Amino acid sequence: MSTLSASVILLSASGCKKCKGEEPRARITNNGTQKASVQVKTSGGNTININNVDPGTSSDYANYAPGQVTFTITVNNTNYVKATDISTCYQYDIVIDKANTITVNGVDRND
């Protein structure tokens, strides 16, 4: 194997960015017709707020502690609540559709 080939293989292997115990994160994708906000409450008592996400947009990701989490989503002054266990190295997309149906999809950042 040439030195160039070995260097390319080494760079490719070291360029993999695997998650190493990083906190979970979440964002809202608002496909509804009204502004939406979410409160992420962790089992440790911390609260993260993602506020006023306009229809047709997504918020930035916000990080929070792993464990039991309650998502309280507010759309048009109505609260929708989803509770779930979340893990390190996951990111969650909280998706609101036009009927204000909420889905929470988790993706392992190591995949």
Structure confidence at residue 14 as a pLDDT band (50, 70, 90):
very low
In the predicted structure, residue 9 carries a pLDDT above the cut 60: no
pTM of the predicted protein model? 0.72
* Predicted pLDDT at 21: 86
Sign of the torsion formed by the C-alpha atoms of 61, 42, 86 and 37: negative
Which residue do the tokens 């990083």 mark? 22
**Spatial CB neighbours of 97, under 8 Å, sequence gap ≥ 6:** 31, 32, 103
* Average pLDDT estimate for 27-48: 90
**Structure-block tokens of residue 95:** 């998706």
